[in-house]
């Protein structure tokens, strides 16, 4: 006992000194990636749950994300902003306090499972395929892949503003209105942007990126990492839910099945359409579902995971709180006896944590968010094919969970409560939308995607139905190594089988892709279409004039780009230009009118010119006395607008300039 106390005292002093000195030192040396790894590994070594290294690191990832999001509330108001050394020191001190109060010493389980290869392989394969079309391209050229959807511009504006203000926008609404289109500053979940902004600053040693387009491209690449991580953690989540029963060939088969379905999924559509927050939100749906359905951890760590999961889900994509709510109810009901023994501290800790988790949503609902109209927003809806796939997946999961052999098994009961509850909630939501809109719309599809990922995690229960008494045939050569090869072969076969299923079963909105060069079935997969460069932005390419004339971004007022013949693409390029100039908020008034300005690279005739001019006048007038600079892609049109526009917007400060294309040289 004395030896242990001495060891704890020595390690504690070393930990304290390292927590206070390592972050400033590594930041000064420009070793941001190493500092990020140190914080993650330190958090993993402080907890006790997770018997293998990968499990421990995944648990630490969720806890760390929750900590950073909560610490963000403090960073938004203290005088040091998003200080990398101070925030990392705080995180290391929290990890040290955790293992000290737990009465142990920090340690990591240096153990592995062969199914770790499937988890990590899924991440590597997906990221490789996602990076193929953009690797080696300049930031300007990558706009063909990441500049299609104005949603991506909105996400970058939030990400950019958080670093520059700095802090959560809902705590700095007046300052934020310059950077984002109101009411985004108070109504939209900002957790995913805050996490990525903090990581960006850590990697850059706390320095802001001076080139907005480079920063925009970094955010895009970070989302590709998130997409690959989401696929890997979904495979891991299915294995975690399977628990100790899911070993050997059964673990390989289940991991391969889930990995195959993910490779065949239209997940890349979320990247193309700029649904960045949804991707990050799905990540926490997966982690929350897995870790609370099978909460094999001490009570204190279970409470920490619960709070971290609630905070991460609410801050990143609060639409998915409905699924976390069912997971929370199932967890509390089935763990009530353990919770009761620790109720004195568990109840206030969880109550405060859930209260902080609800804070951004509460601010949104009480200031600018109309939940009723938002839930009925039109947009890309659910296809019959995707609904059939989601329903079939739910039926398979339910069949696996209600087997008589699992009666009384806590994980099976929790999974059943989640599946039945989320299914009922989706059915009611769908019925309401169908009764009012006569179709299933935008947010139903997003909710259904969240439910699908929860069901993919629960596919780990399918492995329980595989007979444990079935063993692989004895091999007369190779011994244990040959057995592991056969296990890997079964996992691969399961993954290929799931790919074949996925070829004809999509569970997301469709996206346009150019036809493949051959009749290969694999070429029809969205991930393959993306990696072959067949999913790109609609022509004309976004931002071509903006990126070839960087001086545009130093304009003194609101920028209007008329560099294409179509109103929708002029609107897109205008939002992009103002976003990269850190003033997206200035286009909120003209946003609708710009879509009707169908001129830019030639002079329209007669009534077509007058309609476009009238829409342009309304757009300029919406800016009041704010200076407006109009950049036109045709010299004759620029001269004509310089003559016709100013008299129609008296009192406004407007200038018109010709902007030659990069290829014309004139």
- Does residue 201 surpass a pLDDT of 90? yes
| Distance (Å) of CA 429 to CA 9, 376, 381, 444, 572 | 56, 10, 13, 7, 32
- Residue in the block written with tokens 């009761």: 340
DSSP characters over 471-517: -PPPPSSSHHHHHHHHHHHHHHHHHHHHHHHHTT---S-----PPPS
**Of 311, 267, 298, residue with least CA distance to 99:** 298
Distance CA 418, CA 451 (A): 9
| Distance (Å) of CA 433 to CA 322, 439, 442, 647 | 17, 6, 10, 48
Q: What is the reported pLDDT for 90?
A: 97
Q: What is the reported pLDDT for 503?
A: 46
Longest dimension (CA), the chain: 93
The pair of three-digit structure tokens given for residue 331, joined into one six-digit string: 């967890």
Number of H helices, E strands in the chain: 29, 3
HSE of 142, CA atoms in CB hemisphere, 13 A: 22
Strand ranges across the sheet with 558-562 = 558-562, 628-632, 654-658
Say which range, 240-254, 318-332, 449-463, 612-626, has the weakest mean pLDDT. 240-254
Instruction: pLDDT band for 625, please (50, 70, 90 cuts).
Output: confident
Q: Please indicate whether residue 19 or residue 295 has the higher confidence score (pLDDT).
A: 19
Residues paired with residue 632 on neighbouring β-strands, in sequence order: 562, 658
Q: What is the pLDDT of residues 582-597, one digit of tens each?
A: 999 999 989 889 999 9
Say which range, 28-32, 145-149, 458-462, 517-521, has the weakest mean pLDDT. 517-521
Q: What is the reported pLDDT for 80?
A: 94
Q: What is the mean pLDDT of residues 314-335?
A: 92
Share of the chain above pLDDT 70, in %: 89
Inter-residue contact 53 to 112 (CB < 8 Å):
yes
- Residue in the block written with tokens 């100039």: 581
Residue 514: exposed, middle, or buried by beta-carbon count in 10 A (0-12, 13-18, 19+)?
Answer: exposed
- Does residue 413 surpass a pLDDT of 80? yes
* Backbone φ and ψ of 632, nearest 5°: -120, 140
- Does residue 445 surpass a pLDDT of 60? yes
| Distance (Å) of CA 149 to CA 484, 536, 541, 552 | 45, 11, 12, 21
- Does residue 473 surpass a pLDDT of 50? no
Share of the chain above pLDDT 90, in %: 61
- Does residue 600 surpass a pLDDT of 80? yes
3 state SS of 554: helix
Q: What is the reported pLDDT for 566?
A: 92
Q: What is the mean pLDDT of residues 203-224?
A: 95
Q: What is the reported pLDDT for 252?
A: 83
Which of 342-351, 495-504, 531-540, 654-663 is modeled with the greatest confidence? 342-351
Angle (CA) 396-283-209 rounded to 5° is 155
Q: What is the mean pLDDT of residues 390-397?
A: 84
CA pseudo-torsion sign 94, 99, 105, 106? negative
Q: What is the mean pLDDT of residues 507-528?
A: 63
Q: Please indicate whether residue 77 or residue 548 has the higher confidence score (pLDDT).
A: 77
Distance CA 246, CA 530 (A): 34
- Does residue 454 surpass a pLDDT of 90? yes
Q: Please indicate whether residue 551 or residue 235 has the higher confidence score (pLDDT).
A: 235
pTM of the model: 0.92
Residues paired with residue 656 on neighbouring β-strands, in sequence order: 630
The pair of three-digit structure tokens given for residue 376, joined into one six-digit string: 């009925």
- Does residue 349 surpass a pLDDT of 70? yes
């Amino acid at each position: 006992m004395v030896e242990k106390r001495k060891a704890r005292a020595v390690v504690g002093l070393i930990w304290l000194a390292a927590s206070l000195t390592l972050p400033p030192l590594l930041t000064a040396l420009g070793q941001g990636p190493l500092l990020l790894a140190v914080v993650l590994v330190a958090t993993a070594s402080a907890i006790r749950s997770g018997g293998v290294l990968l499990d421990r690191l995944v648990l630490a990832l969720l806890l760390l994300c929750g900590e950073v999001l909560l610490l963000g509330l403090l960073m938004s108001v203290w005088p040091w902003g998003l200080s990398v050394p101070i925030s990392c020191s705080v995180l290391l001190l929290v990890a040290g306090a955790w293992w000290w109060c737990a009465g142990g010493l920090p340690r990591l389980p240096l153990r592995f499972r062969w199914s770790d290869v499937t988890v990590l392989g899924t991440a590597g394969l997906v990221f490789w395929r996602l990076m193929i079309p953009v690797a080696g391209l300049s930031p300007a050229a990558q706009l063909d892949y990441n500049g299609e959807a104005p949603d991506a511009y909105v996400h970058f504006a939030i990400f950019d503003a958080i670093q520059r203000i700095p802090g959560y926008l809902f705590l700095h609404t007046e300052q934020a209105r310059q950077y984002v289109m109101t009411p985004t500053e108070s109504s939209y979940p900002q957790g995913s942007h805050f996490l990525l902004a903090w990581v960006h600053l850590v990697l850059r040693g706390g320095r802001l990126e001076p080139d907005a387009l480079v920063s925009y491209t970094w955010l895009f690449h970070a989302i590709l990492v998130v997409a690959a991580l989401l696929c890997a953690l979904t495979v891991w989540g299915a294995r975690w839910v399977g628990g100790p029963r899911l070993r050997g060939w059964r673990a390989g088969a289940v991991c391969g099945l889930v990995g195959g379905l993910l490779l065949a999924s239209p997940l890349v559509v979320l990247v193309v359409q700029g649904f960045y927050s949804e991707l990050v939100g799905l990540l926490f749906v997966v982690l929350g579902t897995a870790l609370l359905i099978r909460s094999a951890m001490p009570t204190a760590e279970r409470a920490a995971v619960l709070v971290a999961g609630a905070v991460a889900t609410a801050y990143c994509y609060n639409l998915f709180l409905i699924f976390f709510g069912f997971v929370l109810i199932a967890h509390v009901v089935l763990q009530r006896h353990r919770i009761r023994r620790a109720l004195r501290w568990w109840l206030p800790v969880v109550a405060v944590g859930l209260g902080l988790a609800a804070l951004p949503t509460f601010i949104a609902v009480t200031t600018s968010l109309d939940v009723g109209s938002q839930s009925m927003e039109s947009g890309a809806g659910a296809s019959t094919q995707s609904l059939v796939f989601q329903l079939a997946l739910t039926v398979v999961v339910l069949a696996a969970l209600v087997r008589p052999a699992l009666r009384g098994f806590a994980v099976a009961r929790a999974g059943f409560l989640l599946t039945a509850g989320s299914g009922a909630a989706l059915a009611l939501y769908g019925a309401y939308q169908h009764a009012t809109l006569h179709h299933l719309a935008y947010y139903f599809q997003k909710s259904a995607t969240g439910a699908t990922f929860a069901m993919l995690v629960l596919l780990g229960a399918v492995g329980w139905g595989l007979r444990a008494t079935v063993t692989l045939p004895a091999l007369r050569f190779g011994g244990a190594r040959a057995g592991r090869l056969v296990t890997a072969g079964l996992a691969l076969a399961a993954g290929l089988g799931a790919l074949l299923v996925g070829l004809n079963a999509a569970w997301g909105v469709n996206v346009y892709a150019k036809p493949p060069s051959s009749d290969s079935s694999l070429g029809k997969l969205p991930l393959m279409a993306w990696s072959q460069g067949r999913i790109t932005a609609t022509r004309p390419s976004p931002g071509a004039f903006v990126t070839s004339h960087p001086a545009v971004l130093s304009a003194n007022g609101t920028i209007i780009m008329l560099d294409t013949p179509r109103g929708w693409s002029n609107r897109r390029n205008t939002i992009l230009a103002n976003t990269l100039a850190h003033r997206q908020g200035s286009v909120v008034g003209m946003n609708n009118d710009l879509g009707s300005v169908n001129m830019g690279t030639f002079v329209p005739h007669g009534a077509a010119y007058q309609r476009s001019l009238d829409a342009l006048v309304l757009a300029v007038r919406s800016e009041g006395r704010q200076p407006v600079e109009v950049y036109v892609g045709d010299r004759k049109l620029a001269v004509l607008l310089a003559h016709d526009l100013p008299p129609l917007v008296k009192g406004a400060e407007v200038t018109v300039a010709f902007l030659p294309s990069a290829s014309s040289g004139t």
